[in-house]
Amino acid sequence: MSNADSEVDELFDVRNSYYLGNYQQCIKEGQRLKANDSKVLLEKDFYVWRSYLAQKKYKVVLEEKLPEELSCVKILAEYFSNPSKRESILAVLDQENTSSDFHIICSASIYIEEGNYEAALRLLNFGSHLEIIALRIHTYLIMYRTDLALKELKLMQDRDEDNTLTQLCSAWVHIANNGDKLSEAYYTLQDLIDKYGTTPTLANAQAAVLLAQEKFEEAWDILQDNAGDSVDTLVNNMVAAGRLGKGTEMYNRILSQLQDVRPKGKFLESYEEKAQDFDNLRS
């Protein structure tokens, strides 16, 4: 998997669209790409097929005959589409090829989804591709280790400070630190929107900044207009709805949606622990 360091990056539009969460555009750019290098074409397919997964079009991927190098994408599709097979999938993940960036990214993504962050980090330590570093940052932020996330961010910035993925990670780390860098995070995201247009990924990140700044109405407006229906959107909507007093009915509806799509998420675990503590105090 290339690191996009060559003078002409044939995959820029494909990769950039994927990182920004503009998955349909990633697919379109992949279909347009005319390249002779088999490695470039393979990496293009890695982004394109994962874009189908991000759109929950699992059957499209499962029915496609993919090369061995992309077998990990099929495993990822199987994991998300068939919960009954997850245990058997997890049993073989450790046997996956740690010399392949593709396999590292897919396997680590499954471990993160499972909440097994130690296993994810063990895998992610095998690679140095920007997306692998970004996944390490993502994992550390879930674990509330912003100190370690910041160290990884510096690695990304030393490698390619202007890369869209580096810019996104910078914003995520600043949001997690929740201090005087919030404004910087907001303007970084706005700059990406000005360059490439808004996407649910960017809208959610901007909403997270506004929530941290206690600008709840502005965050709510962004979430309703541009943020789609992802897990991040549901979490941000819950926070905004609660702070704006949108009512128990709406709050519980969002909570039910979140419980359906991400029952093992960190946010829900924290929410349920606090709810249990509250019930214990009342009893």
Q: How many CA atoms lie within 13 A of 209 on its CB side?
A: 23
From residue 258, give the alpha-carbon distance in Å to each of 94, 212, 227: 29, 21, 15
pTM (2 decimals)?
0.88
**Taking the domains of the chain in order of start, what are their residue ranges?**
195-283
Residue 6, pLDDT > 60, answer no
d(CA 240, CA 250): 11
pLDDT at residue 4, as a whole number:
47
Q: Which fold has domain 195-283?
A: 1.25.40
Tokens of 165: 């993925």
Q: Which of 2-16, 105-119, 140-154 is predicted with the least confidence, judged by mean pLDDT?
A: 2-16
**How sure is the predictor about 272, in pLDDT bands with cuts at 50, 70 and 90?**
low
> In the structure encoding, which two tokens stand for residue 25, read together?
């555009």
Six token digits for residue 214:
């206690």
Give exposure, 156-175, as e/b (b: 16+ Cβ within 10 Å): beeeeeebbbbbbbbbbbbb
102 within 8 A of 46, measured Cβ to Cβ:
yes
Is the pLDDT at 77 greater than 80? The verdict is yes
Angle between helices 71-81 and 101-114 (to 10 degrees): 20
How does pLDDT run across 192-239, given as a tens digit for each residue? 999 999 999 999 999 999 999 999 999 999 998 875 677 888 888 889
What's the token pair of residue 147? 């100190």
